[in-house]
């Protein structure tokens, strides 16, 4: 089968060897697995981080966002059947979605939204799972709750931010402030449902005060947490909550003590990495997201379609993600 791989970590994305077209054997489905014919993929920052930082001894397939069609199922599969259209983010411990066929545990797979094409659906799984787990599993926000409370989303125009703003607006009563530094991303964030936008390249607390917010109850930091950390602590109310998803080189929790701020760290791969007892929760939340999309409550966060799935187009996509200028999600479709 066709696949796109990397064989040496750390190469700049401009190097043709950073991602290469390849042929690999067809994977075999285990007892709880689906064999999926991949129709579309989306590119995430984790793809670029693994390519740059994870050494390999054999070709590795990246990609943690896909949609496709189930072609075979393992002996213990109960949730899906051959022919089902699905979407999922997969597991970081297994080969990724930059390949014609992929095996994935049924417990982390959802039914593709019927109202979306494969490319539009591929943009949603990783960011939807991350955003959902941040709000409802880590921060314990109750659906329909939090009236009178506020959330500041740092990096609201990116992939996770684009779905997080929508979930917070549709399922909670939080006042949503999203940060964005460009006119394009500010407009994007407002269209997705943010009540206000501010510029994270300038001190944030004075901008919040100008909106009538002396402090916010929750901060969700999606990018450059180390750079914004002092600003975040100043912006948070006493007994507030801070959640993040990125990887600062170090994070000193001591500044949080004075305000009794709670700290949460989200990684959407945790359930699949550790085969947790509640792993099927990701299947359930993806089905819920698909339902909300089909009802017109949520919309896909595709910003750019980069054409067919091959090494050259994926190198272009990685380059845009690494530039920090992407908003929403970049998708590719067909091999």
pLDDT tens-digit profile, the chain (335 residues): 999 999 999 999 999 999 999 999 999 999 999 999 999 999 999 999 999 999 999 999 999 999 999 999 999 999 999 999 999 999 999 999 999 999 999 999 999 999 999 999 999 999 999 999 999 999 999 999 999 999 999 999 988 999 999 999 999 999 999 999 999 899 999 999 999 999 999 999 999 999 999 999 999 999 999 999 999 999 999 999 999 999 999 999 999 999 999 999 999 999 999 999 999 999 999 999 999 999 999 999 998 999 999 999 999 999 999 998 888 899 999 99
**Residue 246: partners with Cβ closer than 8 Å, 6 or more residues away:** 221, 222, 223, 224, 225
Rounded to whole angstroms, how far apart are CA atoms 108 and 319? Answer: 28
Cα three-residue angle 153-158-162, rounded to 5 degrees: 70
Position 327 scores a pLDDT of: 83
In the numeric block, which tokens belong to residue 309?
């799935």
Rounded to whole angstroms, how far apart are CA atoms 10 and 72? Answer: 36
In order of their start, the domains of the chain are 2-124+270-333 (3.90.180.10), 129-265 (3.40.50.720)
Which residue in 212, 247, 216, 210 sits closest to 231, CA to CA? 216
Which runs of E-coded beta strand occur in 170-289? 175-179, 196-198, 216-221, 236-244, 262-265
pTM exceeds 0.85, yes or no: yes
Position 97 scores a pLDDT of: 98
In the numeric block, which tokens belong to residue 191?
């269209």
Position 325 scores a pLDDT of: 82
Q: Are 147 and 171 contacting, i.e. CB atoms less than 8 angstroms apart?
A: no
Rounded to whole angstroms, how far apart are CA atoms 45 and 167? Answer: 21
Q: Are 217 and 149 contacting, i.e. CB atoms less than 8 angstroms apart?
A: yes
Cα three-residue angle 44-310-125, rounded to 5 degrees: 30
* SS3 label, residue 233: helix
In the numeric block, which tokens belong to residue 317?
């996509």
Give the DSSP H/E element, type plus range, for residue 254: none
DSSP states of 292-329 as a string? HHHTTSS---EEEE--SSSHHHHHHHHHHHHHT---SE
Position 321 scores a pLDDT of: 94
Position 326 scores a pLDDT of: 81
């Amino acid at each position: 089968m066709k696949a796109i791989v990397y064989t040496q970590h750390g190469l700049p994305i401009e190097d043709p060897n950073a991602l290469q077209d390849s042929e690999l054997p067809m994977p075999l489905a285990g007892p709880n697995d689906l064999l999926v014919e991949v129709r579309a993929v989306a590119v995430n920052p984790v793809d670029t981080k693994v390519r740059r930082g994870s050494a390999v001894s054999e070709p590795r397939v990246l990609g943690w966002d896909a949609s496709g069609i189930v072609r075979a199922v393992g002996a213990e599969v109960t949730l899906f059947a051959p022919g089902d259209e699905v979407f999922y983010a997969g597991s970081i411990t297994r080969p990724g979605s930059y390949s014609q066929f992929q095996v994935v545990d049924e417990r982390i797979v959802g039914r593709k939204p019927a109202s979306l094409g494969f490319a539009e659906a591929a943009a949603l799984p990783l960011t939807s799972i991350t955003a959902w787990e941040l709000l409802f599993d880590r921060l314990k926000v109750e659906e329909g709750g939090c009236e009178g409370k506020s959330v500041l989303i740092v990096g609201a125009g990116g992939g996770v931010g684009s779905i997080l703003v929508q979930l917070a607006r549709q399922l909670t009563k939080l006042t949503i402030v999203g940060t964005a530094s460009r006119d394009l991303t500010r407009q994007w964030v407002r269209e997705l449902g943010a009540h206000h936008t501010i510029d994270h390249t300038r001190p944030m607390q004075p901008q919040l005060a100008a909106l009538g917010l002396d402090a916010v109850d929750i901060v969700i930091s999606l990018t450059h947490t180390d750079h914004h950390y002092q600003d975040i602590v100043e912006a948070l109310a006493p007994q507030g909550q801070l959640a993040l998803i990125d990887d600062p080189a170090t994070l000193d929790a001591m500044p949080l003590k004075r305000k009794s701020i709670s700290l949460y760290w989200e990684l959407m791969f945790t359930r699949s990495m550790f085969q947790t007892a509640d792993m099927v929760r990701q299947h359930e939340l993806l089905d819920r997201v698909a339902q909300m999309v089909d009802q017109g409550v949520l919309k896909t966060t595709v910003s750019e379609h980069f054409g067919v799935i091959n090494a050259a187009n994926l190198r272009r996509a990685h380059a845009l993600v690494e530039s920090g200028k992407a908003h929403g999600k970049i998708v590719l479709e067909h091999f």
